[in-house]
Amino acid sequence: MVSKEFLTELLEILQGSNETTAGHTDLGADLKCLLHQMWHSIGNISNFLEICQRAMEIGRLFYGREVPTERVLKELVALADIALRDYFSSQELPLQEGERLKQFLIGAILELGCVSLGYQDEAFRILKILSETDPLTGLLSRERFQREIDVGLEYAKRERETLNVIWADVDDLKLVNDLYGYAVGDAVLRAVSDVLKEVFSSLNAVISRTGSNSFGVIVPTKDLSEVLVLAETFRQAVEHQRPIEDDFGVTVSIGISSYPLHGMAANDLVAAAEMAAIKAKRLGKNRIVVLDVNAGTADLTVLHEKSLILKEALQRPEGVIPYFQPIVDIEADNIIGYEVLARIQYQGRVLPAAAFAELAEDIDVIHSLTERVLEKALWKFGQKDSDHLIFVNCALREVEREDLVEKLSRMLKHNGIRPDRLVVELTERQAVRDVARVHAFAAELQNAGMRLALDDFGSGFSSFLYLRQFDCYFVKIEGSLIRDITRSARCKLIVEHIAALLRSLAIEPIAEWVETAEACAILKRFGVNLCQGYYLGLPSPDI
């Protein structure tokens, strides 16, 4: 595995800041040695010579300025993809870290191509281009976008002009990557960037790729009404794009902010536009939202703060941690398993990740959040000598990923855990978009020896539909029904009949939110022996 220390050393040598580079006029041998060492640690030597050869060819192209910079950068992206292909197949990196490593490799390969040929003078120009340009689309980088907002805002204040920020999120790009592969996802991003250039390039606008699935546009000296027309032109043009197949469409959710209406500072304008885009997603996607400055200010502030907390937590190794809540057999009086619950550590506090779940889906980091928690939780279970079941939550949109079962199997094997100990709970935060895929997931899960559970039964729009279509080992009865079982005859009757239905289907019911001894007694009478709740055990960082 490549260590952070090694990558740091490589970066220092590439940038000429390491003491070992002093006095060198040609770092080609050092660079080749370091990249060879890195490739050896990844476990794929076969592509190294090809990478070196192509890197030198790219260096010649840059030095001779024989082709446009954008074309060379696209070649670099393809080369970095080769370098990372086997790395990602054996290492579980969060998406943000993978993107940073990819950007770093692009710089390293380009430096190799130039410096090994003796073109040291190109280094500064190359690094400047890389720092200001998104290599996939040729648009400006997020850092350059931020600087351009500062400049534009200063001008707008001085000349008493308006300044507008458009934030466009590509809808469901993470799902596209999971279902069709990153090559298709990249094609979607390039298609969207081409439309942006076509609509906005003639307006003295600044166009940028601001994130893995987002774009930003700064439009100066235009009224908000004019910007809305432009944004709608862009939205419709994207909607009619077919970057891959005739039946494969693309949509964007767009948020717009305007100076001075939505703020006087650059960060306020960006936050307002980004939060408006999130609201557009929640309203059904493929639409434009401009925040009403007279309503929802408190909600906007909370949403923005949550977004910052979540993104910051995913960037820190200890930002996301697992907690464990016991599931107890109240008849036998013993613990049969634990549910893994995500927690976010922020400024000395431990926050339940459930409060961030919808936002994590909106900004497409739900997969990174889930994988981070699972990795840490399974490592802890692997250190224990027990047969306790491990219950983990998956939103239905997560199981649409074709590689999820394979990843779960790999994690279990890595930690020495039998597959039959893992129980995957399907939740209903979002309506399923591909029922056939979920069917396939359920079959793959059971073929791999794992178990399936349905979570929050009785709460959603499709509980009985899922119960009919999927073979479940466990069903968790929705917590609010259990909580009110001691004071509501209606809830008691509903739970009694749900339990009878599940037993007739040979499905083991589990009661959530069990908070009193009286509730335990009622549930035991109904034949619901597996229970979970604060009365039986609080979530804890320890097993």
Condensed to tens digits (0 to 9), the pLDDT of residues 64-87 reads: 544 455 555 555 566 566 555 544
Structure tokens at 239: 């909607």
Instruction: Name the β-bridge partners of 453.
Output: 425, 474
d(CA 164, CA 226): 10
Structure tokens at 495: 């739970």
Structure tokens at 74: 């696209």
Structure tokens at 201: 């390039």
pLDDT band at residue 29 under the 50/70/90 scheme: very low
Question: Are 404 and 394 contacting, i.e. CB atoms less than 8 angstroms apart?
Answer: yes
The answer, yes or no, to whether residue 163 has pLDDT greater than 70, is yes
Query: Which pLDDT does position 242 carry in this prediction?
Result: 75
d(CA 250, CA 193): 12
Q: Which residue has the higher pLDDT, 46 or 148?
A: 148
Q: Which tens digits make up the pLDDT trace of 233-261?
A: 999 999 888 766 655 678 999 999 999 88
The answer, yes or no, to whether residue 359 has pLDDT greater than 80, is no
pLDDT band at residue 264 under the 50/70/90 scheme: confident
- Cα-to-chain-centroid distance, residue 83: 22
Q: Which residue has the higher pLDDT, 410 or 108?
A: 410
Question: Are 543 and 340 contacting, i.e. CB atoms less than 8 angstroms apart?
Answer: no
The answer, yes or no, to whether residue 51 has pLDDT greater than 80, is no
- DSSP H/E element including 289: strand 288-290
Across residues 464-490, what is the average pLDDT? 88
Q: Which tens digits make up the pLDDT trace of 370-384?
A: 888 999 999 999 999
Helix axes 297-314, 266-282, angle to 10 degrees: 90
Coil, helix or strand for 218? strand
- DSSP H/E element including 49: helix 48-64
d(CA 502, CA 259): 58
Q: Which residue has the higher pLDDT, 61 or 402?
A: 402
Q: Which tens digits make up the pLDDT trace of 443-455?
A: 899 999 999 998 8
Structure tokens at 215: 């774009």
Q: What is the mean pLDDT of the chain?
A: 77
- DSSP H/E element including 220: strand 214-220
Give the 3-state DSSP-derived string for 431-454, with helices as H, strands as E and coil as C.
CCCCHHHHHHHHHHHHHCCCEEEE
In sequence order, which residues have a C-beta less than 8 Å from that of residue 225 and are 6 or more positions away? none
Across residues 405-415, what is the average pLDDT? 93
Q: State phi, psi for 511 to the nearest 5 degrees.
A: -95, 130
Question: Are 118 and 111 contacting, i.e. CB atoms less than 8 angstroms apart?
Answer: no
Question: Are 194 and 210 contacting, i.e. CB atoms less than 8 angstroms apart?
Answer: no
Across residues 145-153, what is the average pLDDT? 91
Helix axes 366-382, 404-414, angle to 10 degrees: 30
Q: Amino acid identity, residue 415?
A: N
Q: Which residue has the higher pLDDT, 93 or 185?
A: 185
Query: Which pLDDT does position 92 carry in this prediction?
Result: 45
pLDDT band at residue 513 under the 50/70/90 scheme: very high
The answer, yes or no, to whether residue 461 has pLDDT greater than 70, is no
Query: Which pLDDT does position 25 carry in this prediction?
Result: 30
Domains, the chain: 4-132 (no CATH), 142-295 (3.30.70.270), 315-531 (3.20.20.450)
pLDDT band at residue 10 under the 50/70/90 scheme: very low
Q: What dihedral angle (degrees, nearest 10) is formed by the CA atoms of 487, 490, 491, 496? A: 120
The answer, yes or no, to whether residue 89 has pLDDT greater than 70, is no
Q: How far apart are the first and last CA of the chain?
A: 29
